[in-house]
Structure 1
Amino acid sequence: MVKRGGPTLTERRAEELRMTIAHTAVEIFVADGDTSATVERIANAAGIATRTFYRHFAVKEDVVQPLFRHSASLVIETLRTAPEGDDIVDTLVAAWTSAMNDGVLSPFDRRLLTLIAESPQYRLRWLEADDELCDAVAEFLAKRLGRADHPLSRTLPAYLVVQATRHIFMQWVTTSTDEDIAELLRAGLSTVLDGVAAGLPAAARE
């Protein structure tokens, strides 16, 4: 059997359509200031039938998943291609700000993240997307920290890093602070990694 390389043309077109629908939906959400727009309204604005929407998304809240997948792919690519000599925290900050323009979150994206953070069902999609990043972060940290033998030394730092970044972003977008998100991430991640290094069981540090 010949091993497939990347996604097929049909798969790429389907993902492009999902992304188009996602962009249409979030533009409506931000314009409205809430996420109450119906599937029918989103489908009409995207120029598709309602049944086409449901062919790609099981429920309305899933419409943001293509955007989170895209952001996650940028995070993973940044971690995997970062030069080994680069500072760990700087690389993590660069990864989580990779979807921003020059490290700055646009007013549109900030309003969107605020809406998502304030809606339990959409916030759950954010959590699910972040959880899928744990393996890539664990792989990155294991290479840099050299503590991959003990299960906790591989999974705990990655879990804490991912949870910390989401918490920092959620606090940042919902408090309307003017603080630099990169600096907040840098301070938070430094604290997390310092704490993990000091708090792991002795067996995990050997």
Structure 2
Amino acid sequence: MPTISAESMARRPSLAERRKTQTRFEIAKTAAKLFAEHGTADVTADQIAAAAGIGLRTFYRYCRTKEDAIEPMLSAGAERWLADIESGPRRLPTLEELEAAAVRALTPDTDTEDLRITRGLLQAMADDQALRSVWHRINLDGEDALYRTLTGLAGADADPLRLRLIAGATAGAIRIALEQWAATNGPTSGPGSAADLVVRCISELTAGLRD
């Protein structure tokens, strides 16, 4: 029988951690649905907890505020993008490779429910400062995470300013693409989709960085 190395076991999240992550995402999805329909002013933490099938104490064990509850829903695409980049060759990815990874992260295999919920949530942000604050914080965190990833892949001789520009331009392109897609009520696939707009935004915002 094959054995599992200690290194492999260390990388694999425990069952408790996987359950915690799943619970946190279910809370986020529930909150996102309610906020998309009603905005934050008319939705309470009690309502989110009840709709998610958990107690209020459990809700606050996972979320600091009702607005923070949506964070896993909005950061999921960026996490998939970073994971895709990190799983590639151990070198600085090209802008075309970053673009392709972003498209994959925003292209659902079959289930488009999460993408539709995200679109509704982004639409609700137009009139909700609390939600916009969470959204911008998530984007800034994602840009910082991308910069750290690129720095690790590029090596000691890389120009840190160029890496920051790449991280800022590509992360900003994805944010703008998603916001425009939501504002125009774009489809989940094909022309006008989030993935389609990402290609245009990354291409235009990184034009000056291309060799």
TM bin (shorter chain): 0.7 to 0.9
Residues 1:74 and 2:80 are matched in the alignment: yes
Q: What TM-score do you get using the length of structure 1 for normalisation?
A: 0.75
Residues 1:34 and 2:47 are matched in the alignment: no
**What is the alpha-carbon root mean square deviation over aligned residues?**
3.5
Q: Deviations over 1:154-183 (max 9, x none)?
A: 112211211122022112212335734333
By how many angstroms is 1:57 displaced?
0.7
Q: Deviations over 1:75-113 (max 9, x none)?
A: 1122223468x9733642442552432597854432222
User: CA separation in 1, counterparts of 2:73 and 2:115?
Assistant: 15
Q: What TM-score do you get using the length of structure 2 for normalisation?
A: 0.73
Q: Deviations over 1:13-37 (max 9, x none)?
A: 222221121122223233x342331
Match of 2:59 among 49, 53, 58: 53
Q: Which residue of 1 aligns with 2:161?
A: 152
User: CA separation in 1, counterparts of 2:154 and 2:176?
Assistant: 23
By how many angstroms is 1:194 displaced?
1.8
3-state secondary structure, aligned to 1:112: helix
Q: Which residue of 2 aligns with 1:98?
A: 105
**What is the aligned residue count?**
196
Sort the Cα spacing of 1:72 and 1:60 in 2 relative to 1 into closer, same or farther, 3 A. same
User: CA separation in 2, counterparts of 1:195 and 1:169?
Assistant: 22
Sort the Cα spacing of 1:89 and 1:121 in 2 relative to 1 into closer, same or farther, 3 A. farther
Sort the Cα spacing of 1:118 and 1:145 in 2 relative to 1 into closer, same or farther, 3 A. farther
Contact 2:77 2:106 in 1 (8 A): yes
Match of 2:177 among 131, 155, 168: 168
Letter in 2 for 1:111: G
Q: Which residue of 2 aligns with 1:191?
A: 204
Residues 1:128 and 2:146 are matched in the alignment: no
Match of 1:63 among 54, 59, 69: 69
Contact 2:107 2:195 in 1 (8 A): no
Per mean C-alpha deviation after superposition, the further-off stretch among 107-116 and 58-67 is 107-116
User: CA separation in 2, counterparts of 1:171 and 1:126?
Assistant: 14
- What are structure 2's unaligned runs of at least 5 residues? 1-5
Sort the Cα spacing of 1:134 and 1:38 in 2 relative to 1 into closer, same or farther, 3 A. same
Letter in 2 for 1:34: G
Q: Deviations over 1:98-135 (max 9, x none)?
A: 24325978544322221245422222222222223335
